[in-house]
Chain A
Amino acid sequence: MSVYILCLILFCIGLYCVLRKRNIIKIIIGLGIIEYAINLFFVLVGYRTHGRAPILAKDQVISNMVDPIPQALVLTSIVIGLAVTALLVAIAIRIYEKYGTFDITKIRRLRG
């Protein structure tokens, strides 16, 4: 149970980082933390203590195995996260070229 709570704490750290930090690079890092927290949670959902990979072979009895589907899904999710992070960093670099700052409170040319 404690691992799930740790996941939740990691998620909350990421959310805090996105909501409260003023530097846009730190916001991007916060998004990464959120994503890792969810990926970790997803893998833990399929984890079994002392489980092993569910590969079927002759003269082997598998009594306790890890659920492979969350692992496959998390791989996909990591790739998606990579794409989003790369795009965000690219945008952040262009923002720095235009505004000369990473401070989110000074990047305010759009009005409410």
Chain B
Amino acid sequence: MKILPFFVIIPLSAAFLISLLGKKIKNFGDIIANLGTLSLLILSLNSVQLANAHKILVYKMGNWVPPIGICMVLDGLTSFMLVTVNLVSFLVAIYSISYMERYTDKYRFYTLFMLLLAGMNGIIVTGDLFNLFVFLEIASIASYALVAFGTEAEELEASFKYAVMGSVASSFILLAIALLYSYTSTLNMADISLVLSQKGRGMLINLVAILFLAGFGLKAALVPFHAWLPDAHPSAPAPISAMLSGVFIKVLGVYALCRVFFNILGVSSAISFALIILSIISMVVGAFLAIAQQDIKRMFAYSSISQIGYIIFAFGIGSPLAILGGLFHLFNHAVFKSLLFLNSGAIEYSTGTRDLKKLGGLNSQLPVTGYTGLLGSMSISGIPPFGGFWSKLIIIIAAIQAGYFLSAGVAILVSIVTLAYYLKFQSHTFFGKLNETRLKVKEVPLAMSLSMIILAIICVIAGFLLIPIFRPFLQNAVNVLLLGKGYKDAVFGAIR
């Protein structure tokens, strides 16, 4: 349990060092960022073993006993999310070495990148509700700045829109925390759950639930709250688009939503009904808007909305199989969506455009990008041996088992639409006739292709997470959510 604070300490101190020395020492940012993310990846893989052996571990900050002091909690869900985030961020950091050469002030990019990572890791490990809010704001502010990183007109506009909507969402979350504090007089997640079970759920808790749903729903870009995402994600530099779409919306939106609703407030039937309705709308709207796009990154951004719909849909159903499918789809989506955004970055890096109409036949010039992009597209649209197929299959089977026949049908139809727009992406970029002005286009540098190849391999073998040897990785996370309000007993059991 001594490793827990390091998930926040390493990225924070890396951000501090890079901002201090990055300008003076050449390549300092590259080295520190890559070493930092590599060590975080190793620590997070270690945390999987710890979570498997001990079930739950609690770190007391400054040795204050939790209902009074702040604690950090390591359980199955935490370790699962940590692996997902740190795996993607490590590969994105490798990719950034070459990609970010196009921008000036690379060290500032790494500073913000590490702050973003510190915020996300903090949200995952913390066991205190206000602490969660602080980390959420650290991650959000870093992401507003990163979206505006290019300081072109469109990027500033997107960043402003995103920052205003994000701040309103944060205000809702803070208001919910204030109301919850006024009702329970505590901020520790496990303690809130304990007080709620003793005191009973008043009407106030329903208001708190709605405020949390609006706040975290906006961060997760569920459909009525999605307007910022298709502007913000394409405007950021490609590695950051990969981070934002791959893990950011999942940590700030999906993970926080699950933790609050499953482990603290408890899922009522009204909440799960609301989640299912919102997710079905997200799936359909995201998929149909994605077909119409001509900008590659914009298409992927709408696709993220649609896929987040699948994940939330699974949590809305709430049966053990559905939660397994939802978490597995979360992992898969983190891998293939970041791969696809890195592909779009590679295309832009080589050809200077990301307009589907101006591309075509790039497979001969960019073989690595082409084939990894093909693997990513097949995985996200659910072609059998890949990870994306299994997770979608599990979600749909779970929906049918739970009796949501209509929703399951919609999920299958959306999956077909997904296949359609990824076919459009493939045929307009990698297949077809090559534009003659592009005969001199070269493959991207080694660092960029390396991270794309690793992500593509993970896409292919992700299905193996379901076989018994690797199963505990997912199953422990599922168990935490199934435990529901037993979370408080587990935490208080671990303290004593």
Contact = CB atoms under 8 A, between A and B. Distances in A.
Interface of A: 11, 15, 18, 24, 27, 31, 34-35, 38, 41-42, 45, 69-70, 73, 76-77, 80, 83-84, 87-88, 91-92, 94-95, 98-99, 107-110
Contact of A18 (B151, B157, B164): B164
B182 A73 contact: no
Nearest to B159: A91
B171 A109 contact: no
Interface of B: 130, 134, 137, 141, 144-145, 148, 151-154, 156-160, 163-164, 167-168, 170-171, 174-175, 178, 181-182, 187, 231, 235
Contacts of A107: 157, 160
Contact of B171 (A24, A34, A83): A34
Contacts of B163: 84, 87-88, 91
B167 A84 contact: yes
Contacts of B235: 110
Nearest to A72: B130
A73 B163 CA distance: 22
Contacts of A99: 153
A107 B157 CA distance: 7
Determine the main DSSP class of A at the interface with B: helix
Contact of A92 (B160, B170, B182): B160
Contacts of A70: 178, 181
5 contacts: A31-B171, A42-B174, A70-B178, A91-B148, A98-B152
Contacts of B174: 38, 42, 77
A68 B158 CA distance: 39
Determine the main DSSP class of B at the interface with A: helix
A38 B169 CA distance: 13
Contacts of B148: 91, 94
Contacts of B170: 84
A88 B160 contact: yes
Contacts of B153: 95, 98-99, 109
Nearest to B181: A45
B157 A87 contact: no
Given A91-B163, A98-B153, A84 B175 contact: no
B231 A110 contact: yes
A87 B76 CA distance: 36
B160 A24 contact: yes
A91 B160 contact: yes
Contacts of A77: 174
A11 to B, nearest CB: 8
A31 B167 contact: yes
Contacts of B158: 110
Contacts of A109: 153-154, 157
Contacts of A42: 174, 178, 181
Contact of B154 (A24, A69, A110): A110
B144 A41 contact: no
Contacts of B175: 11, 38, 41
A80, A91, A108 interface centre (most CB from chain B within 10 Å):
A91
Nearest to A70: B181
A92 B144 CA distance: 13
Contacts of B151: 94
A80 B160 CA distance: 17
Contact of B156 (A18, A34, A94): A94
Contacts of A24: 160
The 3 A-B residue pairs with the shortest CB-CB distance, nearest first, are A98-B153, A45-B182, A42-B178
A31 B159 contact: no
Contacts of A95: 153, 156-157, 160
Contacts of B171: 31, 34-35, 38
A77 B175 CA distance: 11
A92 B160 CA distance: 8
Nearest to A32: B167
